[in-house]
Each structure stands twice: as structure tokens, then as C-alpha cells.
Chain A
Amino acid sequence: MQNSIVTALRTYGVSTAAALALSLPVSLVGSLLGPSTGWADAARPVLRAGLALEISTLDPVRVTNYCENIIALNVYDMLVMPDPDKGIVPWIAKSWDISEDHKSYTFHLRDDVLFHDGRLLDAEDVAFSMRRVLAMPGLVGGYLRNVDRDHIDVVDAHTIRFNLKQLDPTFIRALVNLKIVNAKLLMANKAEGQFGEFGDYGAKYLQSKDAGSGPYSIAEFRAGEGVTLKAFDGYVMRKFEPGTPREVRLRIIPETVTLETKTLAGEFDLTFANPEPARVKLFSENPKFAIDRWPTLNNYYVVMNNTKPPLDDENVRKAISYAYDRNTVMNKIYSGGVPLRAPIPDSMLGKCDGITTYDFDMKKAAEYLKKSKYSPEELKKFKIEYASTAGSEPFEKTGLLLTLNLKKLGLNAEVKTVRWTDIVAAQTKPETAYPLVYFFDSTRVRQPSTLLQFYTKKGWGAPYPSGGIYWENPDVTAMIDKAAQLEDGSPEQSALYCDASKKIAAEAPAIFSHDDIHLQPRWKYLTAATKDGGSSQYEYRFDKFSFNTADPDFIANQAK
């Protein structure tokens, strides 16, 4: 044991003599305390991973952060499944018909899907789930807000029709966020609440339990500690292959360094959160680890308040865009990325030539500033605050880099650290919205109009950073409205989104930074996600993961 202590201490830069001296008492204490012991069952492998954010709810309607989303998408099923290559594929819905006016959608459901309590899923459950989503406040309700709650028709046990209040090109894609809940189970467990005969719609029950039909069920939930999922043997949508995790233990580890330490120590099989660029080599230089990398659809922007001087001047906005050192942000502050040219990433936009880009160029920035309607003296007087979300180091670093460059141009820019809640509140009014806000949009509904809406009056004042842009161009609004009436994904629709993107980029109402690269360090015995899942976190459906159960590291780590 002492040898391992000395080796470990040497790894952390302690001299051999000091390591030897320190190892003696430590090994003595160690023999008294003794390490924990366990055992590995190759037939029922356990996936162990850490979550960097708190799990505040298990209710699929209330999930907001990515950790809660990972749990929800493993416990519940959806009508449609996102697919990285095909966009959307049938899932619980075998097929669907769309009316001529694109306002009525009829879904034909599978008849063999079981909930975790053994009951068959039917159209009433889907209707209940949709009504619940629309009645309860939450993120998902926002995505499906155009569904007419009073006209959800259960045609028969396996057919359901949704009617839209207005055209919504995002509807089908937004359905990946509708998790189907077991209506009878929730009604049997409803508590007192504000929804009349539905009580609390089972909200209290879903704080710690599940009512899903997904590949995993919730075996245990301890607030502040984590959640344990068990494979659902009655799952018909995909067979559990040998090596597929039969149990998933997700533990909340708010500190990312600790999370990485636990992964390196073999207590976790992978990490969901990107390691900091400086710490990537801890994994890349370790022969037992592999790092998967893939571009995400986390779109990073620096949104500008276009009503606040001097940002009401297009030339100033262009100068700021040129002063933004995208490559340094992507490659030094983050671990790589794919540049954004417009609000919509190229992977969603498709081929679209002629978009104005603003590659880092301080000379051009100075030239545009000279063209400004404001004199250099006037420009100095305007305070340009960059709001950095409290607790995010990369956001602050990006702000420091940008404001430093803006100061070189003679602008009075500074970084202000603000809580997310305060940013969200400030953006709802043009007079309070911050001049510059850096953030990322994870594009949970992968349809261009969700990102473009903030460049029309419809998106003004939304409680979100993009709600504080306050920019519009009537031509752009007309194009987006027209695209909404066309078949989703059609060439005509894509052309309109392309034209709208060109017009937006030409006036630089925001800095379109980049999509980041996701880094996933994992032990080599685990085959996990290798590319984006087609919608937020869908790459983390654990039933697609697989262990090499013969690997000695797997056996050793499962016992930890």
C-alpha cells in the first residue's frame, strides 16, 4: 500500500522523501479505516456518473437543466424521437397525418407500449400528458403553446389529434419535449391542487417518483444526493443487449474538479460535463480513458440591446462584432467549436451562401467606428456593460477579452457579473436590458424559427437574454411568417430562412459566436455517445450504452 501512496503523491508533485514520510502515517490510518469493498455483476452492469447540477424535480413538465433532462428522457417516452441524421423519427407514434392547412396533426400510436406499472399506454395518456403540460407552468409548455388545449381529440384508443391555434412549424420537433405520463397512476396519486378535478396533476407524486414508460424507471431519489435508475424489463421499444447498463446511478457532484477526480478514481464511468481545457490532458494522457468529441448545437451569442446608444448605430455594432476574437474564445476558453455565421447554425440552416461574417479584425473594427454617427468623444461617454452570468468562468473570460478589445477602440466597456435571474428580468424591457449579454441557447427545439423569433417583434421582451435584442427588419419578419406556412424542411422554407439569416447578419444585431464541441471523457470499457443525439441530451439514452464486461478495469471499477 505504501508504494501506491508514494506513487500517488509523486503524481501531485510531492518529492520522494516527503512522499515517503507522509505515506507512513497515512497508510497506518488507512489500514484502520480500510477501503470500501463491493462486487461486480457482469450480467447487470451499473453505469455510474456524476451530475454537475442539482436535480430539483423529476417531473418532466418542470425540468429545466440538462441533468434533469437526462433523467426525464430515460424514464419517459415521446411520440417522436429526435434523430441526428433524419431529424425526427416515429417512436410511440407509428405515423402521423397533417391536415392541408397544417393546423391539425393526427398521430397513430403503437399498441404494445407498457408503463412501468405494467399498464398499456393509450391515447388518453397522451391527451392527459399534453393537457398537463399546457396547464402547468414550465419550459415544455412554452414549446407547445400553440396547441389548442380545448381541442385535443382522442379518436380511438390508439389515435389522437392535436389542433393548433395558429401555424407552428416547430410543432413536430417540439414534441420531443412532450414526455408521456401514466394518467391513471397520476390521478390515483393526485394531491390537493389548483387544477380542479385534476388536483395538483400529480406534481407532488412526481417530485420523487415516476409515471413513465421509458427504458429506465426511478428506483431511488435522494434530494441533494442523486437518483438511481433501474432497467425496465417490459420495455418494447429497444431490447436490452448484454452489456447494456441495467442500473444507472447518477450522483450530484456540484464541483467539476471533484467530479473529474471521481471519474479518474474509477468511481464514475464517464462525465457529462466538459473538462476545462487545461484539465483535458488528465484524461487524454491516461491510457485507460478515451475522449469522445462532437459538435453540439449549443449556440453561443453576445446579444446586443439595439435600442441602447451607441448600439442603436449599425456601424458600432459591426465594429464590436469585428472586435470579438472568436478563435481565442472557441479554442482557448472553450475546447474548440464551430463558428456561427448567423442566429442559426450551419448544420440547421443547410447551404446558405452570402452571409456577412465578422472575423476578428481590429483594423476593420476601427474603420466602422469612424463611420459611426457618434463622435469619438460621445462614444467614450456611453457605458457598454457586458453582463456575465455569475458562477460561469468562461463567460467572464470571454467578457474580459471582448471588453479589453473594445477599450482599445476607445469604447467604455466593462464586465459586470450578474445573476442569471437578474439578467432574465432586465431583458424584458428595452430600457433595462443590458447592452451586451453572453449566453448559449441549447436549441431544444431544432427548428430555425425558434432561434429567429428573437429577431422579430414577437420575441421582444421575452424573459431570456435574446428577448433583450429589440431589433427587427420588416422583410425578415415577413420571411419568417411566410416560412411558417410551408412544409417543415422544404427547400422553399430553407431558402426563406437563409435569406432571413443574411439580412440579420448584415446588420449585426448580435455577435454570432460559435457552437461548442462536447468532450466526453470515459473509461475505455464503456461505449457511450459518440455524436449529438438530435435534440438536447438525447445522446444520453443509456439503453444505447454498452460495457465490455470482460475488461479488468470494468470489474475493478464496478466494485468501487
Chain B
Amino acid sequence: MRFLRRLLNMLIVILFVSILMFVLVRVLPGDPVGAALGEGATKEQVDKFRTQMGMDRPLMVQYAAYLEGLFDGHFGPSLIESRDVGDIVWERLPATLELVICSLVVAIAFGVPLGIVAATHRNGPIDQIGRLCSLTGVAFPQFWAALMLQLLLGAALALLPITGRLSGPPPTQITGLYLVDALLTGNVSAFVDAFRHLVSPTIVMAVGPLAQITSMVRSTMLDELDKPYVSFSRAVGMPRFLIDYKYALRNAFSSTLTLIGFLFPLMIGGAFVVEKVFAWPGVARFGADSILANDYNAIVGVTLVVCLFVVAVNFVTEELYVALDPRIRLER
């Protein structure tokens, strides 16, 4: 019952976002049709195209048609690419997901241990260096970091590709995530190729979240380590490793989990800078271009997909809270 109630809540959120975005993009000024047709277009052609796109109908009728299309899996035609936005989004989403997942894994894999070490060595050299790095990481302009990595690792040293997702042919598509598909099909060269292309953008994408995770783990761990049960455990001679990692970290991790839950959809939406500099064919870049071109259906489509991830990750995060802290279940 609880599951169904939460699922219904998710659907209501998505529906609300779809209405809001659908109306907003249409009432704001701008003529996407005239821009899409270019400088040679006459008023008659613009009007004809507007009719073809159904934009001359009342807003409610347009939304009803849009919703009907959504149930059939259609997001409506893109003004720029003149094909269904859904096709474009599903084509480009794996690229963004692969980048975001890799970046988040790197951020968690390095950020959590760094945060723990910083907390357990409070005010020591490791803590000081960790804090300095966190501050630098949060303040790091992605754009600059990306260009510097390209210059160093790509142009000057020729160690890694400067841009793109792959140099050679892609592996047989299963998930659209090249690393996964290459592994599943046993295509080693494609795996190495995809991995080499991922390194630079992943580093750039991971730096900010890594710093945030390190900082969050450190502060929550410090709170936890100050609690009486930790002092008691130390007094009775419990091994420090056990106290830090089994009890303190588990209790401190809820806040970090919330942060990670927020970071994931934020990174999907905010990946456009990295995608632009690294010419990464992701959905975030498409979304940013759609806003500039005022491509109605594309803006709504990309927003809905990001929204879908927000509610889905929120759903998963809340379930994980329960796993981490059984008291949450009892309180419901």
C-alpha cells in the first residue's frame, strides 16, 4: 500500500511538472517556428508550419494531444531535428548516464574514504589538506578544468582523446552505455576506447561532487564521533576500525545518502558544460540547445526525463534510508 501511494505521488509530481513546463514554454515570448525556418521564411510559411505543428490550437487541446502522445511513448516532434523528441532523448540519454554514473562512482569511491580519514584525523595534516582540496573542488570552474585537461592530457601529451565518446566503431548496442555494452559483448577494444574517452570528462564531473561528499562525510562523522556511545565503545576497548566504520559511518551516512540522491539528477541536468567542452553527445547538451532555440517539445521532454530521475532517485534513496536505519520504518 505504501509503495502504491508513493508511486502515485511520483506520477502526480511528473504530471504537475509536465503541465507547468508545457504552459511556461508556450506563454514566454519567442517564436521558435520563425527561427527554425530561417531567414528566407515568409509569414505564410511560418503560419503553415505552425499549423502543421498544431501550435495554432488552444493550449488545452495542445496539452491533451501531448499527454495522449506521452502515453504512446511520443514526446512530440522537435522543431530543430524534425523527429520525435523521445527518440532523441533515448538516443542521447545513455551517453549522459554513463558519464554521470562514472563520475558519481569516482566521487563516492574517493570522497567517502577521504571524509572518514579527515574526520578520524581531525585537525591533523590529512584533515587540513582534505579540507583545502574540498574547498578547491567545490570552487573549481568545470569549464576551465575541462580545457586544462584537454590541453595537458589531450593536446600536449596525446595520452587521452580530447573529445568525443569513442574513436572506433561502437559496440553492439544493448544498454547504450558503451562500457557495459563492450563488456557484455566481449569487445575489449571498444571497452578500452570508451574508457579512455571517459577519463577526462569523468575527472572534471567528479571533482565537485567528490569535494561535497568528502565535506559531508567529514562533518557528519565528526558529529557522530562526539556522541557518548563512541566514547563508551572506546572505553570498553572496542577496536577503532569497528567503531569508525561499522557504527559511526553507518549512522552518519544518511545525510551523505541524501546528498548523493540530490547530486545524481543535478549532475544529469548540469552536465551540459562538460558535454559541450568534450563534445559529448549527451542529453544535457541537447537540452541546453533546446532552450536557446525555444524548441517547445524538446524543453518539456528533457525536463520530464530529468524529473523522472529526480523522483526515481528520491524513491530509491528513501528506501535506502530504511535499510540504513530501521528506526525510520518503525516511525511510519
The smallest C-beta distance from A90 to any residue of chain B, in angstroms, reads 24
Q: Report whether A224 and B286 are in contact in the complex, using a CB–CB cutoff of 8 Å.
A: yes
Say if the beta carbon of A137 comes within 8 Å of chain B: yes
Say if the beta carbon of A94 comes within 8 Å of chain B: no
Q: Which residue of B lies closest to A439 (CB)?
A: B39
Residues of B within 8 A of A62 (CB): 82
Say if the beta carbon of A519 comes within 8 Å of chain B: no
Q: Which residue of B lies closest to A63 (CB)?
A: B38
The smallest C-beta distance from A145 to any residue of chain B, in angstroms, reads 6
Question: Which of these, A142, A204, A262, A265, contacts B38 with CB under 8 Å?
Answer: A142
Complex interface: stretch among A105-113, A419-427, A498-506: A419-427
Q: Report whether A258 and B163 are in contact in the complex, using a CB–CB cutoff of 8 Å.
A: yes
Say if the beta carbon of B158 comes within 8 Å of chain A: yes
Q: Report whether A441 and B31 are in contact in the complex, using a CB–CB cutoff of 8 Å.
A: no
Question: Which of these, B29, B279, B292, contacts A251 with CB under 8 Å?
Answer: B279
A30–B157 CA distance with the chains assembled, in angstroms: 8
Q: Report whether B39 and A441 are in contact in the complex, using a CB–CB cutoff of 8 Å.
A: yes
Residues of B within 8 A of A425 (CB): 29-31, 34
The smallest C-beta distance from B288 to any residue of chain A, in angstroms, reads 9
A225–B92 CA distance with the chains assembled, in angstroms: 10
The smallest C-beta distance from B281 to any residue of chain A, in angstroms, reads 3
Residues of A within 8 A of B160 (CB): 33
Q: Which of A227-254 contact B (CB under 8 A)?
A: 251-254
User: Given contacts A145-B42, A207-B81, A267-B162, are A194 and B167 in contact (CB under 8 A)?
Assistant: no
Contact with B along A15-36 (1 / 0, CB 8 A): 0000000000011011001111
Say if the beta carbon of B68 comes within 8 Å of chain A: no
Residues of A within 8 A of B26 (CB): none
Q: Which residue of B lies closest to A54 (CB)?
A: B289
Say if the beta carbon of B223 comes within 8 Å of chain A: no
Residues of A within 8 A of B36 (CB): 64
Q: Report whether A251 and B164 are in contact in the complex, using a CB–CB cutoff of 8 Å.
A: yes
Contact with A along B161-202 (1 / 0, CB 8 A): 111110100000000000000000000000001001001000
A224–B276 CA distance with the chains assembled, in angstroms: 10
| Most chain A Cβ neighbours within 10 Å, of B39, B45, B92, B157 | B39
Question: Which of these, A203, A255, A264, A391, contacts B82 with CB under 8 Å?
Answer: A203
Q: Report whether A138 and B38 are in contact in the complex, using a CB–CB cutoff of 8 Å.
A: yes
Residues of A within 8 A of B165 (CB): 225
Contact with B along A414-433 (1 / 0, CB 8 A): 00000111101110100000
Question: Which of these, A142, A265, A420, contacts B162 with CB under 8 Å?
Answer: A265
A224–B164 CA distance with the chains assembled, in angstroms: 10
Contact with A along B254-284 (1 / 0, CB 8 A): 0000000000000000000000111101100
The smallest C-beta distance from B177 to any residue of chain A, in angstroms, reads 16
The smallest C-beta distance from A508 to any residue of chain B, in angstroms, reads 23
Say if the beta carbon of A140 comes within 8 Å of chain B: yes
Q: Report whether B43 and A462 are in contact in the complex, using a CB–CB cutoff of 8 Å.
A: yes
Say if the beta carbon of B91 comes within 8 Å of chain A: yes
Residues of A within 8 A of B164 (CB): 225, 251
Say if the beta carbon of B10 comes within 8 Å of chain A: no
Q: Report whether B150 and A463 are in contact in the complex, using a CB–CB cutoff of 8 Å.
A: no
Question: Which of these, A141, A222, A421, contacts B40 with CB under 8 Å?
Answer: A141
Residues of B within 8 A of A142 (CB): 37-42, 45
Residues of A within 8 A of B39 (CB): 139, 142, 441, 444, 464
Question: Which of these, A11, A36, A420, A462, contacts B196 with CB under 8 Å?
Answer: A36
Question: Which of these, A8, A194, A441, contacts B157 with CB under 8 Å?
Answer: A8
A264–B155 CA distance with the chains assembled, in angstroms: 8
Say if the beta carbon of A473 comes within 8 Å of chain B: no
Say if the beta carbon of A335 comes within 8 Å of chain B: no
| Most chain A Cβ neighbours within 10 Å, of B31, B48, B147 | B31
Interface residues on B, range: 35 or more
Q: Report whether B45 and A461 are in contact in the complex, using a CB–CB cutoff of 8 Å.
A: no
Q: Which residue of B lies closest to A200 (CB)?
A: B82
Q: Which of A136-160 contact B (CB under 8 A)?
A: 137-143, 145
Residues of B within 8 A of A57 (CB): 81-82
A56–B295 CA distance with the chains assembled, in angstroms: 12
Q: Which of B33-59 contact A (CB under 8 A)?
A: 33-43, 45-46, 48-49, 52
Say if the beta carbon of B152 comes within 8 Å of chain A: yes
Q: Report whether B281 and A33 are in contact in the complex, using a CB–CB cutoff of 8 Å.
A: no
User: Given contacts A142-B45, A421-B30, are A255 and B157 in contact (CB under 8 A)?
Assistant: no
Say if the beta carbon of B32 comes within 8 Å of chain A: yes
Residues of A within 8 A of B154 (CB): 261-262, 265
Say if the beta carbon of B293 comes within 8 Å of chain A: yes
Say if the beta carbon of A5 comes within 8 Å of chain B: yes
Say if the beta carbon of A484 comes within 8 Å of chain B: no
Residues of A within 8 A of B52 (CB): 137, 194
The smallest C-beta distance from A24 to any residue of chain B, in angstroms, reads 13
Question: Which of these, B31, B83, B159, contacts A30 with CB under 8 Å?
Answer: B159
Q: Report whether B155 and A261 are in contact in the complex, using a CB–CB cutoff of 8 Å.
A: yes
Say if the beta carbon of A9 comes within 8 Å of chain B: yes
A264–B150 CA distance with the chains assembled, in angstroms: 12
Q: Report whether A258 and B277 are in contact in the complex, using a CB–CB cutoff of 8 Å.
A: yes
Say if the beta carbon of B151 comes within 8 Å of chain A: yes
Residues of B within 8 A of A139 (CB): 37-41
Q: Report whether A9 and B163 are in contact in the complex, using a CB–CB cutoff of 8 Å.
A: no
Say if the beta carbon of A223 comes within 8 Å of chain B: yes
The smallest C-beta distance from A372 to any residue of chain B, in angstroms, reads 31
Contact with A along B303-331 (1 / 0, CB 8 A): 00000000000000000000000000000
Residues of A within 8 A of B32 (CB): 421
Residues of A within 8 A of B33 (CB): 463
Residues of A within 8 A of B153 (CB): 26
A99–B154 CA distance with the chains assembled, in angstroms: 61
Q: Report whether A137 and B293 are in contact in the complex, using a CB–CB cutoff of 8 Å.
A: no
Q: Report whether A258 and B150 are in contact in the complex, using a CB–CB cutoff of 8 Å.
A: yes
The smallest C-beta distance from A19 to any residue of chain B, in angstroms, reads 10
Q: Which of B77-125 contact A (CB under 8 A)?
A: 80-83, 88, 91-92, 95
A1–B159 CA distance with the chains assembled, in angstroms: 11
The smallest C-beta distance from A198 to any residue of chain B, in angstroms, reads 14
The smallest C-beta distance from A465 to any residue of chain B, in angstroms, reads 9
A143–B45 CA distance with the chains assembled, in angstroms: 11
Q: Report whether A138 and B147 are in contact in the complex, using a CB–CB cutoff of 8 Å.
A: no
A57–B35 CA distance with the chains assembled, in angstroms: 15
Q: Report whether B92 and A258 are in contact in the complex, using a CB–CB cutoff of 8 Å.
A: no
The smallest C-beta distance from B247 to any residue of chain A, in angstroms, reads 37
Say if the beta carbon of B156 comes within 8 Å of chain A: yes
Q: Report whether B162 and A261 are in contact in the complex, using a CB–CB cutoff of 8 Å.
A: yes
Say if the beta carbon of B218 comes within 8 Å of chain A: no
Q: Report whether A29 and B147 are in contact in the complex, using a CB–CB cutoff of 8 Å.
A: no
Question: Which of these, A26, A35, A426, A463, contacts B152 with CB under 8 Å?
Answer: A26
Minimum-distance CB pairs A-B, first 8? A142-B40, A463-B34, A224-B281, A8-B156, A425-B31, A139-B38, A137-B49, A421-B294
Residue contacts A-B, CB under 8 angstroms, 19 given: A26-B159, A33-B159, A137-B37, A137-B45, A137-B52, A139-B38, A139-B39, A141-B40, A194-B52, A207-B82, A251-B279, A254-B276, A261-B155, A421-B32, A425-B31, A428-B34, A445-B40, A462-B42, A462-B43
Given pairs A141-B40, A145-B42, A428-B43, 13 additional interface contacts (CB within 8 A): A54-B80, A56-B82, A139-B37, A207-B82, A224-B92, A224-B95, A225-B279, A253-B279, A262-B163, A390-B292, A420-B293, A422-B294, A462-B42
